[in-house]
Every structure is written in structure tokens, then in C-alpha cells.
Structure 1
Amino acid sequence: MKVALIQIAYGDDESVADRTARVTRLVREQEGHDLVVLPELWAAGGFDYRHWDERAEPVDGPVAAALGEAAREAGVTLHGGSIVERGEPAAEGDHGVWNTSLVFSPQGELVATYRKIHRFGFGDGEPRLMDAGEEVVTVAVPVAGGASVPVGLSTCYDLRFPELYRHLVDAGALALVVPAAWPMRRVEHWTLLGRARAVEDQCVVLQCNTAGTHAGHEMGGHSQAVDATGRVLAEAGAGEAVLSVEVDVDAVRQWREDFPVLADRRL
């Protein structure tokens, strides 16, 4: 499976429309990849809470439409990072707003959504403004030869909660995707936890972070692809970058057979 991780750098001076046009151009340049991944909340601003309400949109809104078209033109499965989704509240007192990942097929169709389960902010930020997702989601990514790879979806702060990734492994995931807006001051946790999730779950981990500075927060960059043994296959620096990496899914299956640690789980 050939994967591109597009680490987007942005600041406060770029409009959503301009950034969307720039990002979709980058996606279209990734023709020949099986899977392309964007960061969390790259359009709305990962820490730009004050603008989330005005930038919220449904899963068929303008950003989503542009992403679907870019996926179709490039002929790739596109994990579009995440948007601030606005929909119908599930219960009285809910916001009707979620941090929602969107996955598009090579035909440009929306094939999966994942609403972030673990909201960051310790009672402020996401918990104050957004509802928590509840569903564990995997998606089949088609690759050359007609096969497909089961990929588990998660977002940013989810990375700190290993139980989610156990559920994704139990759902069949061989690779785990983590789009993020992870700040520079905790970037060592970002890289360490990605390797930990890869080792403990014997999965490829694909982490796509944001770069630049917005809303007063310097972002960490350092997107990375990690194989199922914890080896870093590719890693970005602190600026905008595109990582292109070949992921050997058969090696994941072989590693699980050669070192069957998952079979020894007791709890």
C-alpha cells in the first residue's frame, strides 16, 4: 500500500477557501498512491476555537465536496483529516457539532466518517464546544491487484487511549490512521505514542500532523509512518512536507504470525 501523508502548515492569515484550494491541489498531485492522509481540522483551525462555529459544515458541505473531487481526480482513497461537522443533536443538551474525519473513495464518494471519541481540552475547548463520537470505525482501502487493507480510524488525542486501538485491532485493522493538530510543546509524546501503538497492536501507524502556528499555538509537525515492529519508516520535520511511503501489509500479517503476542491477551 503506497501512502502519502500531507503535513499542512498554515497560520491565521489564510482564508478557509484559499487553504482548501491549496490543500486540494496537493492532494491531486498524489496520483499513484493508494491512500492519502491530511491533518485534523486543517480547514477550520485545530486550536482556533473562536472560529469553529462559523466554519462548521455538514459532511456534504463545501470542504467535503472539494475533497471528494480531489480524491476522484487523483484516483486515491483520501482521508481528508477532519472537519467541524454540524448536524442534528443526538439528545437534548447536545451541541450537534463533532470533530469528524471524512474518508473518500477513489471515485470521490464519501465511504466512511469517524467522530472523534476523546475530546481534548480538560473541560474546555472540544468538550465545551463539541459532542463525543461513540463508534469505532474501520474502512477498507483498495490497493493494486484488487485487494483491500482494513484501516482503523482515530484522531489526535485518541492516541493517548490504547483501549481504542485494541478495539480497532479486534475489528480487523492492519493499519491505523491518526490525523492530528498536535502542538510542538508535546511533540515527543506524539512520536513516542505512535511507536507504542504500533508495537503493542502490531499494526502500521500512519500519523499526519499539522505544522505552522495558528491561534497562538505552534504546531508540532513530525508526521510519521511506523511499521508493526515500531520501526519508523518515514518522518517529517517541523515544516510543511509530504511523506510518501510504501507500507508492506503482508509483513504485518507475517509479524503477527512470527511473534503472536496478540494471542496471549488475557483481559
Structure 2
Amino acid sequence: MLKYELIPEQLLHIGKISRDQLFCPDPVAEDIILLTHDRHYWEQLRDLTLPHKDQRRIGFPLNEQLVEREIRIAQGTIEGALYAQDFGIAFNVAGGTHHAGRNWGEGFCMLNDQAIAANYLLNKQIHDRILIIDLDVHQGNGTAEIFQNEPRVFTFSMHGDKNFPFRKEASDLDLPLENDLDGERYLRLLKRTLPGIVESFKPQFVFYLAGVDVLSSDKLGKLKLSKSDALERDKFVFELCKSKNLPVQVSMGGGYSAGIKDIVDAHCNTFIAGIDIFEQL
């Protein structure tokens, strides 16, 4: 998608980042993938032998370039999580492939980048209490399925109730939203819910999926948030994490507005909010 090229260029243009802050990840190692995904499923992806019915569920025909894209995205999220240890926050311009479950892909997602990175942190004993905040308009069903029996990871998904995926999985906490929900009510729900999760679960690390398909302009979203509402959402998440000294890795997730400028502006707002808040002393 064009947005993946335009987001960093826009951030460079406005002087919010420099080129030495960008990195291109290598492919993630197979043994790291297998901490999260079923071996047979991964080998079918790797060898391009995934059955056609499973490719249809993903949404596009399988090819080497798509698989390489997924494994680089996953490594980028791992490296972002490690950078966040030092700098407080780090971003993946892509990522948010939260519809991929342990042994299936769905909704343009084949490997679950934040789940892979969370399992990497657990396996390396870097952290043992991880919170995944999924505010994409679509439920993080793959993430929920992967961690359904993992008490060290708390999954929180706030999503459209009558939106894709139509078969939901059970997150540790799901907040299903009605169609046409406006920004005021959305933000009230988020602000009433998220601090309690942080207080009770006491995470050591946060993965944040900051989809901008919550915008009223989004073709698939069915919600009514403005760009300023989405920005307030991001600021609230980042300010809460900063106040608790929680490092955050951010993946961009969905955004399907008709105008590419709306998508890029909203995603860049997420970067700007995170950088500004975590740069504060």
C-alpha cells in the first residue's frame, strides 16, 4: 500500500524524524516464528503450498514477496520492541497483522507481528507481563486465539461489533462497539476501561495497535471518529503508558479512507503524539 511509503516521507518532510532513525529489518528467524505459529502452517506459507481455500481466507494469492513482507514486518516489530526498551517508544510503519492465528491467516494477515514479538520477549525472559492494546476497528481475533491460554499476556480489543471478522475470538477483554459510534462516546469508553486494565494487570511492556480505520471517512470502519478524536485516543494511550514507565511498541494497523491524505495524516498523528509524549522529561 502507498501509505507505507508516504508515512515516513511525511514525517521526514515535517522534521519529526531523521533518516538515521529509520531501519529496514532482516527476515525474522524461523525458530522465532515457531514460538507463535504452527510449524505445518508456517511451512505451507514458506513453501507456497498453502491450500487455495486458506489463501482465499487471507485475501490474496500467496507469493514469495508477500511471505518476505510478513517476515520482515515481524522482525521489525521485534526490533521495535527492543528499541522501546531504551527509548520508551518505537514504531513499525506497517504491522498490526492481528487476524493471523496460530495456524491460519485471514484478512490480509499471514503472520501475527505483535504476537511474534510478545512471544520473543517472553522466551528471552525480557518481560513476563505484556499488555496488547488493539484499537483497530476490527477485532484482533488472531491475537486473542494465540494467547487464549497464556496468562502472561493480556489482550484488549476495542472494535466494531458488527464488523469483520464476523466470527470473533475471546480476548481477555473485548469491548464491542455499535455502528456509527462517535468520538465522544468512544473516548469515554476507552478512558473508563484502559486505566483499570493497567492497574489490575500491571504490565511491564505494551504493544499498541493504532489502526486509523476508526475514522468516519474509512470505507470499512463503520465508526464516526474524526482525526482529532483518533489523535486524542493515541495521546491518551501514550500518556498513560508514559505515566507508568511502560515501554510501547506501536504497529500501524488498518486505514482505508478514500483519500490517501486522510490515512497518512492520521497515521502520522500517531507518530507525532508518541514522539512528543515520550520525549517529555
**Relative to total residues, which structure has the larger helix share, 1 or 2?**
2
Same fold by TM (over 0.5)?
no
Normalised-by-shorter TM-score class: 0.3 to 0.5
- In the superposition, the TM-score normalised over structure 1's length comes to 0.40
- In the superposition, the TM-score normalised over structure 2's length comes to 0.38
